[in-house]
Structure 1
Amino acid sequence: MHVWRDLGEVPSGFGPSAVTVGNFDGVHRGHLAVLSRTVEAARRQNLKAVAITFAPHPLAVLHPDRAPQPLSTPAHRLELLADTGLDAVLMLPFTAELAEWSPRRFVQEVMVDALHAREVVVGSDTRFGRRNAGDIDTLRELGADLHFTVDEVADLKGPDTGEGARRWSSTLVREQIVAGDVAAAADVLGRPHRVTGVVVHGDHRGRELGFPTANLTTDAIGAVPTDGVYAGWLVRPGETGEPGACSKHDTGERLPAAISVGTNPTFDGEQRRVEAYVLGRDDLDLYGERIAVEFVERLRPTLRFDGIEALIKQMNDDVARCREVLGVNTPA
């Protein structure tokens, strides 16, 4: 898959193409419906399948105070996009200047002039151009003028939980993660949610207690779930130095782990941390390594214990529960 990080990198004469556009943060199952339709359209018409996306998230430029926590790193997002069968991704730098482009200018210069779009595939909620003035009707009007067709993909929704079925979206995934319901988030994503960062030194209390943990930097990328203990995986980097998006990319290790999110109240901690203990391993040296932790299921909230013995007993129980959730055998 070709990756272009600026409009000027698109080769002259590229296309014709089937194009989609969006932030694709997390590349969840709703996104996959649009992306797969784009690839299908391209294959059917002998076109190139292209996704247009942005970095950073537009709100990080326009309203930094309202910018959401990202669900994936740019590298992870590109790997997930590559898995869909796209021929190319144009990851445009989102700037204040780009934000002022009219819907027509964006379509003309990016979709038509650069990518030679013959079909544009988008979800019902698509918005683009200055102040998000462009929508599906705008695309249809421009398509009639600029000679491309528009394929609208209906929203995908989860089961009705009694309050109406929710549309699958990045916003829904963030809400589920913040609530600690990482299993529900995984259902929308189609895989466990992950947080990626560099391993740094902590207080080393875990090692003293027999459960050495890998502590992530506070600037780790990925929405952090609510405080608690989780069953999950620690993913080490492959050949590219970035933990892979899924098994086909993971040339490094994927290890079962108990993950703690919180301030460690038993020791009066103040800094909120994400740390992971790889089950049954005390021989790993991960300091300085860029890893990802994947959240499978929340086991319990963060608790304050009266003493070390009570804490160690609970940690042993947590490890046993992690093995059960992850389907990992207990060592003989």
Structure 2
Amino acid sequence: MLGFRVSLVLRWTDPAETPATLRPCVATFGNFDGVHRGHRVVIDTLLAEAARRALPAVIVTFDPHPVQVLHPERAPELISPGTLHEELLEATGIDGLCVVPFTTAYAQQLPEDYIVSTFVEGLGVAALVVGADTKGFGRGYTGDVELIRDLGAAHGFDVVVVADQGEGMRWSSTAVRERLRDGDVEGAAEILGRPHRVVGTIVHGFHRGRELGYPTANLERRSRGVVPADGVYAGWFTRLDLPAEHPDRVLPAAISVGTNPTFDGTQRTVEAYCLDRTDLDLYGEEVAVDFVVHLRPTLKFDSIDELLVAMARDVDQARDILSGAR
């Protein structure tokens, strides 16, 4: 039930224009898609090193994701795209976020030129924190940790290397996507360190839910975040346009993902029923849906009565699960 919009972090796009208040600094760089627990270990190390040196903590990331630019045919669906990604990073407690526009020309920098121009000249870095698996950056994908160590020795900055993380498995964005594709939102949350979130604007649907006694809020098709496998889930519905202290900002919900096969639907939708609430007017609001537990797969029922029985059971399960999770 995280809000994410809680930061006064300085944000800019060109390392050469780094605010003077953030120079010198301790920095790290990467895509950080999903900002999962492995990323958090790197970021927590960044914060600790910055505090120890009494310097600002800065993250350099990229938009779009480099693979989307260099190899669009195999670009991953992003766990936390756009502003959602930035909000997750800003909520970690950093002081600065440099979101560099990634282009094919930018990718042609030699790895040593990238490190020197961005971190030595741009950020005045005192220490650079990197994961042990940092590699494949710069022209020819030749940049790695050893090159960074050599450049640190040559240009007078420390290099702090963080070992791979994971309990019996490697925490990775790929592993999160795999679990979401399987509908395993609990497994995804274990890696993320929080429930997976999808953000979008509420739009009009077919209004079947209201007719059945369970009015649902339909997310626009171009929502932000990986939509889990078709099924019914228990989760949280956050009305992002409301202030944090508003009693209706975060509501328990039963969430349906799928094509509504009982009605022979063909369009895949994400719709949420806020438990025991039939009084909400949500059209046009930006909301976040956090997936907590997978309740059941999407099913085609032979009658509306069978569907209603299943929906009542889903709501009861969601209520039981979420009542102890506040």
Indicate the TM-score class for this superposition, using the shorter chain for normalisation.
over 0.9
What code does the residue aligned with 1:5 have? T
State the partner residue of 2:164.
155
CA contact (8 A) 1:299 1:318 kept: yes
SS in 2 for 1:72: coil
Q: 2:179 aligns with which of 176, 180, 187?
A: 176
State the partner residue of 1:318.
314
State the partner residue of 1:273.
269
Q: CA deviation at 1:14?
A: 4.2
What code does the residue aligned with 1:50 have? V
- 1:1-332 equivalences under 5 Å are 1-12=9-20, 14-127=22-135, 128-158=137-167, 165-238=168-241, 253-327=249-323
Relative distance call for 1:232 and 1:63 in structure 2 (3 A) is same
Farther off after superposition, 295-304 or 76-85: 76-85
CA contact (8 A) 1:199 1:289 kept: yes
CA contact (8 A) 2:16 2:118 kept: no
Matched residues in 2 for 1:176 and 1:249: separation? 33
CA contact (8 A) 1:237 1:252 kept: no
Relative distance call for 1:106 and 1:72 in structure 2 (3 A) is same
What code does the residue aligned with 2:161 have? E
Q: CA deviation at 1:321?
A: 0.3
What code does the residue aligned with 2:171 have? W
Question: What 5-or-longer segments of structure 1 have no aligned partner?
Answer: 159-164, 241-247
Q: CA deviation at 1:8?
A: 4.4
CA contact (8 A) 1:234 1:278 kept: yes
Matched residues in 2 for 1:144 and 1:254: separation? 50
Matched residues in 1 for 2:113 and 2:242: separation? 40
Normalised by the length of structure 1, the TM-score is 0.90
Q: CA deviation at 1:85?
A: 2.2
CA contact (8 A) 1:123 1:154 kept: yes
Q: CA deviation at 1:43?
A: 1.2
Give per-residue Cα distances to partners, 1:55-87, cap 9 Å, x unaligned. 111111112221111111433333322332211
Relative distance call for 1:40 and 1:249 in structure 2 (3 A) is farther
Relative distance call for 1:80 and 1:13 in structure 2 (3 A) is closer
What code does the residue aligned with 1:220 have? S
